[in-house]
Amino acid sequence: MFIGHYGPAVWDTQRGHGKPIVKLWEAFLAVQAMDIVCGFLVMFGIEGMVLNADGKPIFDINWSHSLVTSIVIALIAGGIFKALRPQSGMRGFWVIAMLAFSHWLLDLIVHRPDLPLYPGGDLLLGFALWDLPWIAFALEAGLLFLAFAWWQKLTIAKNKKYDYGLWALYLFMVLVHFAAIVHQGIQVKNGTFDMAAQPPSSAAGISMLVMFVLFTFIISRIERGRPSKFQTA
Ligand SMILES: [Zn+2]
């Protein structure tokens, strides 16, 4: 999953009570913590795309995407957040840890079986919704849409720019998602996927990381202009 991961990012137990524990841009990093680790490993050629026995592309993501690693990454992400934002307390720790862990559960729905239980484990999990590229696209774009619509309701734009900005970001993310994920899913379905035509792993890893930073930067700018509706001060 790619943009669908940002769906849970708007979940925050304190939203609606004035002061959110976790800023949306921080949640944007948390939900992609596993893929940020993955991006670095792909960049250095440690992880990357491979073909499975059916000739379909899967990911060799033994280290970043095992169930065990996902729990470790979630706890580390929560720990980093708690260290940087001590006033958020254990609730902040758990919000970030659960957001980070949500990544594995959502990946489980769409990935072709490539998610191991532990690094090097033989059992590979994934319900392969990406084999139905348009349905998977609707799910991911829909999750992000619901998240943005909900967040728009819980915040007030200081001016119109912060409404347009939010939906321009939505459109941008959907387009990037289409180019990165859906396009490939359609090729796989039509049997025209060509492994040799894929970008080298260094480029793939860097573009993953660039997109995560870019989405996070843009939402942080939008967030400045959208304070919580329930803010008292
Ligand atoms: Zn992932």
Residue 15 has pLDDT above 70, yes or no: no
Under 8 Å between Cβ of 229 and 156: yes
Q: Find the 110 Cα to ligand 1 centroid distance in Å.
A: 10
pLDDT at 104: 98
The sign of the CA dihedral 58, 73, 19, 91 is positive
C-alpha 169/C-alpha 163 separation (Å) is 10
Encoding tokens for residue 77? 């992400």
104's enclosing H/E stretch is: helix 89-110
pLDDT at 61: 96
Nearest to 37 by CA among 67, 70, 8, 10: 70
- Going by DSSP bridges, is the β-strand pair 124-125/115-116 parallel, antiparallel, or unpaired? antiparallel
Q: Find the 104 Cα to ligand 1 centroid distance in Å.
A: 7
Query: At which residue do the structure tokens 């939900």 appear?
Result: 31
Q: Find the 1 Cα to ligand 1 centroid distance in Å.
A: 6
Fill in the amino acid letter for 99. L
pLDDT in tens, 57-78: 999 999 999 999 999 999 999 9
pLDDT mean over 170-189: 96
pLDDT mean over 82-97: 94
Q: Find the 156 Cα to ligand 1 centroid distance in Å.
A: 32
Higher pLDDT, 197 or 214: 214
Q: Find the 100 Cα to ligand 1 centroid distance in Å.
A: 10
CB-count burial class (<10 Å; 0-12, 13-18, 19+) for 184: middle
Q: Find the 61 Cα to ligand 1 centroid distance in Å.
A: 9
DSSP 60: E
Q: Find the 154 Cα to ligand 1 centroid distance in Å.
A: 28
C-alpha 167/C-alpha 226 separation (Å) is 13
Encoding tokens for residue 91? 């609730």
Q: Find the 198 Cα to ligand 1 centroid distance in Å.
A: 18
pLDDT in tens, 98-151: 999 999 999 999 999 999 999 999 999 999 999 999 999 999 999 999 999 999
Q: Give the DSSP letter string of 129-188.
A: GGGSHHHHHHHHHHHHHHHHHHHHHHB--SSTHHHHHHHHHHHHHHHHHIIIIIHHHHHH
Q: Find the 37 Cα to ligand 1 centroid distance in Å.
A: 9
Q: Find the 159 Cα to ligand 1 centroid distance in Å.
A: 35
Output 123-130 pairs: Cβ under 8 A, ≥24 positions apart.
124/58, 125/67, 126/58, 130/181, 130/185, 130/188
